[in-house]
């Protein structure tokens, strides 16, 4: 029986990309507020006995989590065989430790919520730093698909003579994977973060940038400070204008424009979060992950 794709409001574009790649039907959902602010949800598709794939981009998650949880519960209540979550961007992963006394480790709490609501999860390159895998915190099968192949294809097609630059140690997983696929050099810098917007990055090895176009790659661009500090180092020393590539276009406030103003030639992102900088499509990888999960 065909699976049913359902979009939590805001993820319709991802659903459409998946529908084109999977043998799945798209079901209609209604999510609205009652006059008192409480939520009404309805699924207008036959889901009994079928696999339901709920798609929910989890950037700016506060308004999306309750609709997601209620739709997942409704699908189960209506007799769905299994309910899975496709979250191209998985939020809360950066709060993976108690950095200061009294803080909540929200990556764990959110994993608990999702694990109770659905039977499986597929996501794109979650921020794995202090957690080494999603299995440490998710109690359901949680599969990760990677953006590096699509990023590598884009860099190969658009950037002559690139040198990949990772602004911090965690970014090595992306820069190394992209560099290996296109046979380009790479270097990884060191970052110190003292606060949300207070970041310093070690200077790049300028000699290894000579004659190349720097391509900065990181998983998340949020305030943009990590990328901005790296771009500044390069521009001060007259290196070619760098291209900034982010997997997840979180872009807090004016981060995108500030990054361009700091001297980035282009800012390019994957379509895990809808944004006008999206140039790299990761739908093939996402569909492959969903297909594998549905077949299991």
Name the CA radius of gyration of the chain, rounded: 20
Q: How far is the CB of 21 from ligand R5P (least distance, A)?
A: 28
- In the region spanning residues 59 to 118, those forming contacts with ligand R5P, defined by CB under 6 A, are 94
Kindly give the pairing relationship between strand 198-201 and strand 278-280. unpaired
Would you count residue 123 as binding ligand R5P (CB under 6 A)? no
163, with CB counted inside 10 A (0-12, 13-18, 19+), is buried
State phi, psi for 115 to the nearest 5 degrees.
-65, -30
Q: How far is the CB of 191 from ligand R5P (least distance, A)?
A: 7
Q: For residues 211 and 286, give the distance between their C-alpha atoms in angstroms, rounded to a whole number.
A: 35
Would you count residue 234 as binding ligand R5P (CB under 6 A)? no
Would you count residue 230 as binding ligand R5P (CB under 6 A)? no
The DSSP annotation for 120-164 comes to EEEEES---SSSSSGGGT-SS-EEEE-SHHHHHHHHHHH-SSEEE
Structure tokens at 229: 């500090």
Would you count residue 219 as binding ligand R5P (CB under 6 A)? yes
Q: Which of 235, 293, 286, 287 is nearest to 90 (CA)?
A: 286
Q: How far is the CB of 246 from ligand R5P (least distance, A)?
A: 8
Q: For residues 225 and 223, give the distance between their C-alpha atoms in angstroms, rounded to a whole number.
A: 5
Q: How far is the CB of 194 from ligand R5P (least distance, A)?
A: 12
Nearer to ligand R5P, 14 or 95 (CB): 95
Q: How far is the CB of 220 from ligand R5P (least distance, A)?
A: 4
Stretch that binds ligand R5P, among 24-32, 59-67, 132-140, 214-222 (CB under 6 A): 214-222
Would you count residue 125 as binding ligand R5P (CB under 6 A)? no
- In the region spanning residues 238 to 267, those forming contacts with ligand R5P, defined by CB under 6 A, are none
Nearer to ligand R5P, 54 or 264 (CB): 264
Question: C-alpha distances in angstroms, 229 versus 163, 208, 257?
Answer: 17, 18, 14
Would you count residue 166 as binding ligand R5P (CB under 6 A)? no
Size of the site for ligand R5P (CB under 6 A): 15
Q: Are 187 and 163 in contact (CB under 8 A)?
A: yes
Q: How far is the CB of 294 from ligand R5P (least distance, A)?
A: 30
Q: For residues 66 and 56, give the distance between their C-alpha atoms in angstroms, rounded to a whole number.
A: 11
Would you count residue 11 as binding ligand R5P (CB under 6 A)? no
Which of 222, 230, 272, 277 binds ligand R5P (CB under 6 A)? It is 222
Q: Which residues bind ligand R5P (CB under 6 A)?
A: 94, 127, 168, 170-171, 199, 218-226
């Amino acid at each position: 029986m065909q699976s049913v794709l359902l979009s939590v409001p805001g993820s319709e574009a991802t659903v459409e990309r998946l529908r084109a790649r999977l043998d799945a039907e798209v079901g209609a959902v209604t999510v609205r507020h009652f006059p008192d602010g409480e939520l009404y949800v309805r699924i207008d598709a036959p889901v009994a006995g079928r696999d339901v794939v709920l798609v929910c981009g989890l950037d700016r998650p506060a308004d999306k989590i309750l609709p997601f949880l209620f739709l997942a519960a409704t699908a189960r209540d209506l007799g769905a065989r299994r309910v899975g979550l496709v979250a191209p961007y998985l939020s809360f992963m950066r709060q993976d430790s108690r950095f200061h006394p009294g803080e909540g480790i929200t990556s764990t709490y959110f994993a608990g919520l999702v694990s109770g609501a659905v039977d499986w999860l597929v996501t794109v390159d979650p921020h794995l730093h202090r957690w080494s895998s999603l299995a440490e915190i998710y109690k359901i099968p949680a599969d990760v698909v990677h953006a590096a192949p699509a990023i590598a294809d884009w860099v190969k097609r658009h950037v002559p003579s690139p040198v990949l630059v990772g602004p911090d140690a965690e970014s090595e997983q992306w820069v190394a994977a992209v560099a290996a696929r296109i046979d380009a050099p790479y270097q990884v810098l060191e970052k110190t973060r003292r606060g949300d917007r207070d970041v310093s990055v070690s200077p790049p090895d300028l000699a290894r940038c000579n004659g190349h176009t720097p391509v900065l790659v990181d998983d998340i661009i949020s305030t943009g400070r990590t990328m901005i500090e790296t771009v500044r180092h390069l521009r001060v020393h007259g290196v070619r204008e760098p291209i900034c590539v982010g997997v997840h276009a979180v872009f807090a406030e004016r981060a995108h424009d500030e990054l361009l103003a700091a001297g980035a030639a282009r800012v390019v992102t994957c379509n895990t979060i809808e944004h006008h900088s999206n140039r790299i499509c990761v739908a093939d990888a996402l569909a492959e992950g969903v297909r594998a999960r549905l077949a299991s």
